[in-house]
């Protein structure tokens, strides 16, 4: 009986270890800054993603809004009323403020790509260059009432060729929401 119990405990430990290994974050945050004087909890968040690919933009915004709503925070996607966002985010901040006011958002979250980087380059057995691909992003959170930046995070996420990109976007969202929660943003 003791042997069976010990075997079951060991099996449970192995399963738990494997689960934790698979659930580990895929995103590394290289820098996170939060205005510690900011004590406002968001009521309505306007989510803006500045990815050039419209499908990836929608996936991020829809996923992030859903993650916020699961935490009881009202949130809105920007792509329904701001279809040409990449250039707009980088140039016309007044347009974003106007849209935030139009939907009643007290917080605006802007996520934009900074670039990609190939790391750990090697040549495979069949002579093909292989590498690990990473995308760097910047996520800024603005308080519309005080009109100031209240949080900023730079991140790097490994993009795996064998995984669907939509799944990797969801993994990034999970990591980002967890980090923001740890920073007590919501």
Cβ burial, residue 84 (10 Å; 0-12/13-18/19+): exposed
List the structure tokens of 99.
Answer: 């849209």
pLDDT bucket at 91, cuts 50 / 70 / 90: low
Q: Which tens digits make up the pLDDT trace of 57-80?
A: 999 999 999 999 999 999 999 888
Give residue 22's pLDDT: 43
pLDDT band at 135 (very low <50, low <70, confident <90, very high): confident
Spans of all domains in the chain: 26-182
CB 89 within 8 A of CB 96: yes
Residue 34: predicted pLDDT? 92
Amino acid 145: pLDDT: 86
* Edge-to-edge order in the sheet of strand 74-77: 27-34, 148-159, 129-143, 107-123, 44-49, 74-77
Task: Report yes or no on whether pTM surpasses 0.85.
Answer: no
In angstroms, the CA 42 to CA 39 distance is: 10
pLDDT confidence of residue 69:
93
Question: pLDDT tens-digit profile of 29-59?
Answer: 989 999 988 777 788 999 999 888 888 899 9
The band of 19, judged by pLDDT with boundaries at 50, 70 and 90, is very low
Residues 6+ apart with CB under 8 A from 3: none
Task: Give dist(CA 178, CA 145) in Å, integer.
Answer: 25
Phi, psi of 185, deg, nearest 5: -75, -35
Report domain 26-182's class: alpha beta
């Amino acid at each position: 009986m003791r042997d069976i119990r010990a075997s079951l405990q060991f099996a449970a430990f192995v399963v738990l270890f494997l689960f934790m290994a698979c659930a580990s974050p895929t995103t590394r945050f290289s820098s996170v800054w939060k205005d510690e004087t900011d004590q406002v909890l968001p009521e309505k968040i306007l989510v803006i993603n500045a990815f050039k690919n419209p499908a990836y933009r929608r996936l991020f915004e829809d996923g992030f809004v859903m993650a916020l709503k699961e935490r009881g925070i009202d949130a809105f996607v920007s792509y329904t009323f701001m279809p040409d966002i990449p250039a707009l985010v980088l140039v016309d901040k007044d347009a974003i403020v106007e849209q935030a006011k139009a939907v009643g958002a007290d917080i605006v979250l802007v996520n934009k790509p900074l670039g990609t980087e190939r790391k750990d380059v090697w040549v495979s057995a069949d002579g093909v260059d292989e590498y690990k691909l990473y995308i760097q992003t910047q996520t800024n959170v603005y308080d519309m009432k005080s009109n100031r930046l209240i949080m900023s995070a730079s991140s790097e996420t490994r993009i795996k060729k064998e995984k669907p990109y939509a799944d990797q976007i969801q993994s990034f969202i999970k990591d980002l929401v967890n980090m923001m929660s740890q920073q007590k943003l919501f």
